[in-house]
Amino acid sequence: MDEDVISKIVKDLESGGAAPASVTDILGQVGDQIERVRKRLSRISHKMAVMSGKGGVGKSSVTINLALAFAKKGFKVGILDADISGPSIPKMLGVGGRTINITPEGAMPAVSHLGIKVASMDLMLAGADTPVAWKGTWQDSAVWRGALEMGVIRELLADVVWGDLDLLLIDMPPASSDKPPIIANLIPDLDGAIMVTIPTEVSQYIVRKSVTFAVKELKIPIVGLIENMKSFICPECGHKSGLFSPVVSLVEPEGSTKETSGELGRTMGIPVIGEIPFDSRMSRSADRGLPFIIEFPDASASLSFISIADKIIDQFLNKETRQ
Amino acid sequence: MKFICMKCNDFMDYEDQEKVADQRLGLVFSCKKCSSSFAMVTNSGETQLVHALGIQIGGRSGPAQPLELTRDSLKEDVKSVGPIWTEEAEKRILNVPSFARQMARKGIEDYAREKGSREINGKIMDEYREKVGM
C-alpha cells in the first residue's frame, strides 16, 4: 500500500473523521452504563465505603451493625455487598434465603431488619452451598475475572431498585489496591471511606497502606478509623481487658506499648471514631441472622456502634437530607 | 479495529456477525466500492473479555436488562436451578395426589420465585395453600 495512503488513513483514524463508525459503539455502551449508575444513585444522599485492606478484621460485622445503628436513628439505609467471591452480608442480616427479583423497574433488593435494603452476589446464587462460579473457558484468567466482577458490582449499583436512601454503605472486598480504586471510580460522589482495623501490628500495617492509597491515589476522604475487637468484656464479671497483646506503636521507638489506634489515626491525620469491644455473642448473632445490635441493644458493643453513627452524622451527614 | 480494502484503499464496513462456535464469533466485513468481503473469527478469550465488560458485540438491539451480565455469566444462578425444596417440603408434597403433584409442585415453585425465596419450606407451602384456597 502506498505510504501516502497509509499516512492519510492513520490521520483519518486519529481525527476520527473518515473512519466508519463502530457498529458495536463501545464508547456509547460504556456511556450508557455510567449514566445508569449515576441515575440510580442520584436518589441516595450519601455513599460511604467500609474498607480495611486486611481480611478477618470484622468489616462485614461492623458494616451491618453500623447500618442498623443509622437505621435506628431514622435513616433509610442500604448495603451493597461488594465482596463478590465471598458474600456474607445477607446471611448475617437474616435474608440469606432470599433472592433478587427482576421486575420492569429493576432488580428488587432483599429487605432486612429496620428496612435495610441489601444487594449481594449471594442473593443471585442457586443455593447456600453454591459457589460463585462463572461460565466460560477463561475462568482462570485474573484479568477476565476482575473485569467480570467489576461488571457485576456496576450492575448491582445501577440495576438494583435502591429507591430514596439517606445512606448506602458499600462493604468493600478485603484488598488494598486492586478492586477498591475501580469500585470507587464506579460510585459518583462517594462521601468517604470508613476504615476498620483490629489492635494488631499486622492489621494496622495493612490499614496504613489502605489509608495512604485511599487518600493519595483515590482522593477519597477518610471518614474515620474504627478499631474492632479492641477489648474483651468478661460475660461473667464484666471485667474489661485487652483481647490482643499490647501493640507496639508503629511510630514510637521499639519497646513502646502505646496503643496504636490513636497513634495510627494521629500520624495519618484521621480521626478514630470508635472502638468496638469483642463480644463472643456477636458471631452467634451473625450466624443466626439476627444482628447483635438488634438482639443486644444495651450491650457495650451496640452502644459503641450508636456512638460511631452519632459521630458520623454530626461530622459528615447533613441531617436535613434525611428522607 | 478497522480494516482497509487494499485494492480500493478504503475502509471496509462491518456487515454481519455469526456465532461460529461456543464463545467464538465470525465477523464479516465488506468493501463498499468493490464488494469484496472477508470474515474474521474471534478467539473465545477476546469475546469473553468484551462480554465481561458488559459490551454487546455488534451493538445493542434493545436496552440493557437488569443484572443481565451477572445472570448470563453465572454457572448456576437461582433461575437456572429454581427454588430448592427442603426435606420437610419434599415430604409434604407427597401428600398431594400423584396426578396433581406435578402441577402443585410447579405452582409452589412459581409462588416461591414471585416471593423472592430460593427455598421451598413449610412456610412457603402454607402461604401458597392459603393463596390458592386449598
Which of residues 113 through 132 in chain B touch A, CB cutoff 8 A? 113-114, 116-119
Look up the pTM and report it.
0.79
Going B69 to A90 to A158 to A151, the CA torsion angle's sign is: negative
Helix, strand, or coil here: B84? strand
Strand-pairing partners, residue A48, are A169, A192
Domain map (residue ranges) of chain A: 44-321
Q: Is A58 exposed, middle or buried (0-12, 13-18, 19+ CB in 10 A)?
A: buried
Q: Is A248 exposed, middle or buried (0-12, 13-18, 19+ CB in 10 A)?
A: middle
Residue ending a domain, choose from B73, B90, B123: B73
Q: Are residues B54 and B69 in the same domain?
A: yes
Q: Which residues of A touch B114 (CB under 8 A)?
A: 101
Do β-strands A110-111 and A117-120 pair in parallel, antiparallel, or remain unpaired? antiparallel
Q: A178 falls in which pLDDT band (50, 70, 90)? A: low
Contact B54 A33 (CB under 8 A): yes
| Helical (H) or strand (E) element with B95 | none
Q: A216 falls in which pLDDT band (50, 70, 90)? A: confident
CA distances from A246 to A138, A231, A271, A277 (A): 46, 11, 21, 15
- In angstroms, the CA B118 to CA B48 distance is 29
Q: A21 falls in which pLDDT band (50, 70, 90)? A: low
Q: Which residues of A touch B64 (CB under 8 A)?
A: 32-33, 36
DSSP state of B118: S
Residue ending a domain, choose from B32, B56, B73: B73
What is the CATH class of A44-321?
Answer: alpha beta
Which cell numbers hold the place of A279?
A: 463480644
Q: What is the dihedral of CA B116, A121, B73, B64, to 10 degrees?
A: 70
Q: Are residues B124 and B88 in the same domain?
A: yes
Question: Whole-number mean pLDDT of chain A?
Answer: 84
Which cell numbers hold the place of A309?
A: 453513627
pLDDT tens digit string along B81-126?
667 788 888 889 888 888 888 889 889 988 988 887 878 889 999 9
The answer to whether residue B58 neighbours chain A at the CB level (below 8 Å) is: yes
The answer to whether residue B46 neighbours chain A at the CB level (below 8 Å) is: no
Chain center to CA of A94: 19
Mutate to test the interface with B, among A2, A10, A155 (most CBs of B within 10 A): A155
Q: Are residues B88 and B28 in the same domain?
A: no
Q: Are residues B14 and B67 in the same domain?
A: yes
SS3 assignment for A156-203? HHHHECCCCEEEEEEECCCCCCCHHHHHHHHCCCCCEEEEEECCCHHH
- In angstroms, the CA A166 to CA A175 distance is 27
More confident position, A211 or A74 = A74
The answer to whether residue B94 neighbours chain A at the CB level (below 8 Å) is: no
Which CATH number does the domain housing residue B112 bear?
1.10.8.550
The total domain count for chain B is: 2
- In angstroms, the CA A272 to CA A262 distance is 6
pLDDT exceeds 70 at position A262: no
Q: Are residues B86 and B50 in the same domain?
A: no
Q: Are residues B52 and B96 in the same domain?
A: no
Q: Are residues B118 and B58 in the same domain?
A: no
Nearest by CB to residue A151, choosing from B54, B57, B78, is B54
Nearest by CB to residue A29, choosing from B12, B55, B76, is B55
Nearest by CB to residue B58, choosing from A18, A24, A151, is A24
Q: Are residues B37 and B11 in the same domain?
A: yes
Q: Are residues B100 and B86 in the same domain?
A: yes
Q: Which residues of B touch A15 (CB under 8 A)?
A: none
pLDDT tens digit string along B13-58?
888 888 777 777 888 899 999 999 998 888 877 778 888 888 887 7
Q: Are residues B40 and B91 in the same domain?
A: no
Q: Are residues B63 and B108 in the same domain?
A: no
Instruction: Quote the domain boundaries for residue B54.
Output: 4-73
Min Cα distance B106 → chain A (Å) is: 17
Q: Are residues B69 and B115 in the same domain?
A: no
Half-sphere exposure of A138 (CA within 13 A, CB side): 22
| Residue in B with minimal Cα distance to A109 | B116
Q: A135 falls in which pLDDT band (50, 70, 90)? A: confident
| Residue in A with minimal Cα distance to B58 | A24
